[in-house]
Chain A
């Protein structure tokens, strides 16, 4: 019945959009969230900035930037940045590398998918302290890992896994994985499966489908996960103390700030260190976001959904 079809296909006028008041009214619901941000984030931040610019004690007369100068002038303090970076960057990269194939594989419902996803997310529910305690047992000299290594003759003496860089690295890797995985899973399950098939019929093998279609479309998710992971690992504190070597290789920047504040009671110095920390995180996030905006952003569905 072509006649009937044409009649039904006739365009219907869009309903008129209704405006109930001036433009600012629609922004009102933002209010409470804005208040929380101001009270819990912006105020402490600005307070910290001004605190860091008012040195006390012997530095009081050395100018407003004396605490920053003191931090960068002291090799031990300066090294805390390096100590943190060499944890945060490899952990972020490795977590991304581990989570990406898993998230891609689990993007479509599979038998047992819920169980697998649940298991992968469990570390999120453990606190850092609980995780550290578990690690001390499990990776300790008399723990399962070393017992297995000895029994299999892979090691002659117990391997030192904790109270050093390795301990903090493993702890961060485990604690950080769920967030990275969940962010990537969200993006991966939004991928249109037909794009992969289309690329296939156009002659693309698995590597070129991955590099030309899948990864570019996942770039926003990878950027978000990388930023989240870096910020979380760069501010590492408890595990650096509990399973690390806080006096040496894992004296991270957060620990330096803590020692300034609560061992030397030098709040301006602690604030200055915290500002350095914030600046580094900001630079990393800015770099990641810049890379992301250079890549594609937009829908991950080809054509009309």
Chain B
């Protein structure tokens, strides 16, 4: 799977744009996009700018509207309001069959009655490409996804990972202006998912296509994306590079998505400079930081902390910190994850290098810089 053996699917003689990042073409501007299905507002006031060649993930829980956004881009769903511009051109009057976007569907949607080769050729035949050029480009596209020898098979004769590759080849062979992928890896097992993730990353680095990638898996989004758009209830919550959204979440929702597994309701007791003192309903006190502001003394808030940012020590002798008791300990490979209950019954998930016996009394300490306090959603 070395990148050196890769060829462009086009093979055409026309001046192909260099496969570099930040190309001038494939720039997408989404302005005030809205869509309602029955009583459900699937998307509202959705704005997003994507540079040419950028890999943008749309990340959110199921039903958040991310697939609706993708289907609006593909033209399969008509938005109620707003517009989508591709390189400045309004896409609204262009039907999906004339957009020329490569789409990879969650179910792959391979034509079961056509061989792999005919599946990949389909888009080219629709474009009226001459047969000899179709044959050549299909061969190249199958080579790109390492399926050179399976052109005569039917989709039902392929494994899930191979079907996924065919779907990719079918989308890429038409030299799309945009590549749209809707949870393409969700039907694969964990090992194959990692493999295909690398493959998608490699293809993107080689071809430099502007890519929209819908997923609910934060790991996929973090590893693949140039930027991630977090979506909840049809609205955009935060857009940023993987590092930005991982390290500096601006809301409890985003924090929860990126490993802040401990979220708890608190009341703000004090705000002093960057430091925020909070109290849980049963009276546990923590110091934290409010990265996005919006918290004032006496208001409700949500505190978030990662399992690995909670320090756990034995209760013997020490003072300072929160008294708690270990409930469960789970071995997760490179560490243990323990559920611990504070004196007030609040449960925390903590990550520790050593196994703690259930029932053991411990003391929890949290670095105030690592405890984030957000206004309630």
A interface residues, Cβ below 8 angstroms from B: 1-9, 11, 192, 194-195, 197-205, 208, 212-213, 216-217, 295-296, 298-305
Contacts and interface: CB of A to CB of B under 8 A. Distances in A.
B110 A201 contact: no
Please give me the 10 A-B residue pairs with the lowest Cβ-Cβ distance, nearest first.
Answer: A9-B190, A3-B333, A303-B108, A296-B113, A203-B126, A202-B123, A198-B109, A194-B109, A302-B109, A302-B110
A205 B155 CA distance: 23
Contacts of B101: 201
B171 to A, nearest CB: 8
Interface of B: 74-76, 95-103, 105, 107-113, 122-123, 126-127, 154-156, 160, 163, 167, 170, 174, 187, 189-191, 219, 332-334, 337
Given A6-B190, A203-B97, A203-B100, A192 B109 contact: yes
Given A2-B333, A298-B113, 19 more contacts: A1-B332, A3-B333, A5-B190, A6-B191, A194-B109, A197-B109, A198-B103, A198-B105, A200-B95, A201-B97, A203-B98, A203-B100, A212-B122, A213-B111, A295-B113, A303-B105, A303-B110, A303-B160, A304-B107
A302 B108 contact: yes
Given A208-B126, A302-B112, A197 B100 contact: no
12 contacts: A3-B332, A7-B333, A197-B96, A197-B105, A200-B96, A205-B97, A295-B113, A296-B113, A299-B112, A299-B156, A304-B107, A304-B160
A304 B98 contact: no
A305 B219 contact: no
Contacts of A192: 107, 109
A204 to B, nearest CB: 5
Contacts of B187: 303-304
B111 A198 contact: yes
Nearest to B190: A9
B191 A203 contact: no
A166 to B, nearest CB: 39
Contact of A304 (B103, B163, B219): B163
Contacts of B190: 5-6, 8-9
A4 B98 CA distance: 44
Contacts of B105: 194, 197-198, 303
Contacts of B97: 200-205
A203 B187 CA distance: 26
Contact of B112 (A202, A204, A300): A300
Contact of A199 (B108, B112, B122): B122
Contacts of B126: 202-204, 208
Contacts of B75: 200-201
Nearest to A295: B113
Which of B98, B113, B155 has the largest number of chain A CB atoms within 10 A?
A: B113
A3 B187 CA distance: 19
A298 B107 contact: no
Kindly name the residue among A5, A203, A300 whose own CB sees the greatest number of chain B CB atoms within 10 A. A203
A216 B122 CA distance: 14
B308 to A, nearest CB: 11
B113 to A, nearest CB: 3
A208 to B, nearest CB: 7
A4 B100 CA distance: 40
A197 B77 CA distance: 11
A199 B174 CA distance: 13
Contacts of B99: 201
A304 B123 contact: no
A235 to B, nearest CB: 33
Contacts of B337: 1
B109 A4 contact: no
A217 B74 contact: no
Contacts of B127: 203
B112 A301 contact: yes
